């Protein structure tokens, strides 16, 4: 078969017996990447539109238009939908933590607001969203402290975590509830995430899975660390999902800004790592139920602004024109074996 007549196998079909294949989307990309999304993905996540600040900018004011648009897109295309995210220290709102004098609210007020937010949001999408990232990124990156400092923690103490899961479960008893975090495969943080989830389970908190964000590169984390993280989390008896996968072509501390396209070497390293990662994920298909990329193709990625503002990145299996990259070929080849 020559290159032209060779048909492109859909990612979702390659892994149909293994896990769902998802993409983060927004109201712009469901237009600009429509064909690619419809062909290759059977799950979506709203990139920003279901975060607290997007849905609930003022007390008593909910703005559901954009989120609803994405839910409708999933339904039109027969895709599953993940919800992201109910409790996070970023992209939240000031009013949530303040009274009308601008003073911090009490724990009771904050927990009442949390209950009401979760009831309204999870309740609205009951039956449409099958899994929620209930709590995002509460583990401290460095040091011995378990939880990250935040207004949530300052006002409510650690209790807000269990409460959020309970409120979500009350609002939709059928939804799968996840704890989600980044640097999840680094041993130090992995052990802290494990400890948090273990404590939640001991308290009979309704939690069903751990989301590994998987913002990775060919340089970090190592495959051994990814494997060890999967094993350790799975030993809790929960299901795992990769919730925000991308494979930066840069090492995290690489500050270079001179490239207008990725080098051949970068594309090759990226392809090798994607192949190795998907081989590993397939090996753990019994515990991994979904693999979502944090985007779909290189024309749009949050990594164009992170960690170096305005520096283009190329982290996906499809290029800026939505054509398959070397990484796609390697993954497709691996999947066919
Ligand atoms: C993720 N954080 C968030 O979960 C997601 O909602 C957002 O759109 C992009 C990435 C990753 C992260 C961060 O925001 C800051 C520092 C490290 C990692």
CA of 181 relative to ligand 1 center, distance in Å:
9
**Bridge partners (DSSP) listed for residue 87:** 135
- Give the residue, by CA position, lying nearest to ligand 1 atom 13: 182
Mean pLDDT of 215-226: 98
The answer to whether residue 228 scores a pLDDT higher than 70 is: yes
CA of 333 relative to ligand 1 center, distance in Å:
31
**Bridge partners (DSSP) listed for residue 212:** 181, 242
CA angle 301, 262, 213 (to 5 degrees): 35
CA distance 104 to 109: 10
- Residues known to be catalytic: 137, 244
Hey, which of 182, 217, 243 would you mutate to test ligand 1's pocket, going by the most ligand atoms within 8 Å of its Cβ? 182
Mean pLDDT of 253-259: 96
Q: Are 55 and 63 in contact (CB under 8 A)?
A: yes
Task: Identify the pLDDT of residue 337.
Answer: 84
Q: Is 284 in the pocket of ligand 1 (CB under 6 A)?
A: no
**Bridge partners (DSSP) listed for residue 220:** 217
pLDDT digits (tens, 9 = 90+) for 130-179: 999 999 999 999 999 999 999 999 999 999 999 999 999 999 999 999 99
CA distance 182 to 148: 13
Q: Is 133 in the pocket of ligand 1 (CB under 6 A)?
A: no
Q: Are 297 and 316 in contact (CB under 8 A)?
A: yes
Q: Is 182 in the pocket of ligand 1 (CB under 6 A)?
A: yes
The answer to whether residue 241 scores a pLDDT higher than 50 is: yes
Q: Whole-prediction pTM value?
A: 0.97
Q: How many residues does the chain have?
A: 337
Mean pLDDT of the chain: 97
CA of 120 relative to ligand 1 center, distance in Å:
24
- Give the residue, by CA position, lying nearest to ligand 1 atom 9: 302
The answer to whether residue 16 scores a pLDDT higher than 80 is: yes
The answer to whether residue 190 scores a pLDDT higher than 80 is: yes
pLDDT digits (tens, 9 = 90+) for 90-127: 999 999 999 999 999 999 999 999 999 999 999 999 99
CA of 213 relative to ligand 1 center, distance in Å:
8
Task: Identify the pLDDT of residue 74.
Answer: 98
Mean pLDDT of 249-272: 97
The answer to whether residue 3 scores a pLDDT higher than 50 is: no
Confidence of residue 71 (pLDDT cuts 50, 70, 90): very high
The answer to whether residue 4 scores a pLDDT higher than 70 is: no
Q: What percent of the chain has pLDDT over 90?
A: 97
Q: Are 251 and 200 in contact (CB under 8 A)?
A: no
Mean pLDDT of 275-300: 98
pLDDT digits (tens, 9 = 90+) for 23-64: 999 999 999 999 999 999 999 999 999 999 999 999 999 999
């Amino acid at each position: 078969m020559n290159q032209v007549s060779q048909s492109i196998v859909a990612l979702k079909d390659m892994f149909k017996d293994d896990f769902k294949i998802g993409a983060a989307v927004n109201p712009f990309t469901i237009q600009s990447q429509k064909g690619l999304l419809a062909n290759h993905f059977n799950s979506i996540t709203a990139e920003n539109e279901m975060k607290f600040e997007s849905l609930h900018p003022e007390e008593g004011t909910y703005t559901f238009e954009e989120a609803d648009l994405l839910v409708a897109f999933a339904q039109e295309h027969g895709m599953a939908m993940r919800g992201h995210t109910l409790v996070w220290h970023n992209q939240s709102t000031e009013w949530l933590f303040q009274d009308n004098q601008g003073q911090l609210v009490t724990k009771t007020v904050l927990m009442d607001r949390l209950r009401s937010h979760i009831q309204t949001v999870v309740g609205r999408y009951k039956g449409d969203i099958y899994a929620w990232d209930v709590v995002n990124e509460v583990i401290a990156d460095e040091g011995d402290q378990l939880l990250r400092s935040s207004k949530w923690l300052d006002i409510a103490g650690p209790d807000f975590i269990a409460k959020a899961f309970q409120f979500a479960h009350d609002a939709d008893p059928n939804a799968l509830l996840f704890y989600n975090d980044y640097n999840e495969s680094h041993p130090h943080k992995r052990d802290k995430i494990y400890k948090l989830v273990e404590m939640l389970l001991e308290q009979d908190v309704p939690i069903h899975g751990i989301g590994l964000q998987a913002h990775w590169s060919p340089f970090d984390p190592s495959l051994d660390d990814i494997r060890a993280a999967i094993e350790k989390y799975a030993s809790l008896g929960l299901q795992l999902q990769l919730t925000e996968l991308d494979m930066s072509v840069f090492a995290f501390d690489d500050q270079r800004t001179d490239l207008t396209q990725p080098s051949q070497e970068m594309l090759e390293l990226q392809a090798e790592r994607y192949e190795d990662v998907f081989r590993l994920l397939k090996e753990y298909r019994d515990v991994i139920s979904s693999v979502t990329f944090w985007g779909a193709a290189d024309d749009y990625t949050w990594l164009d602004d992170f960690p170096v503002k305005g520096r283009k990145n190329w982290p996906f299996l499809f290029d800026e024109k939505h054509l398959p990259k070397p990484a796609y070929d390697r993954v497709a080849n691996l999947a066919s074996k």
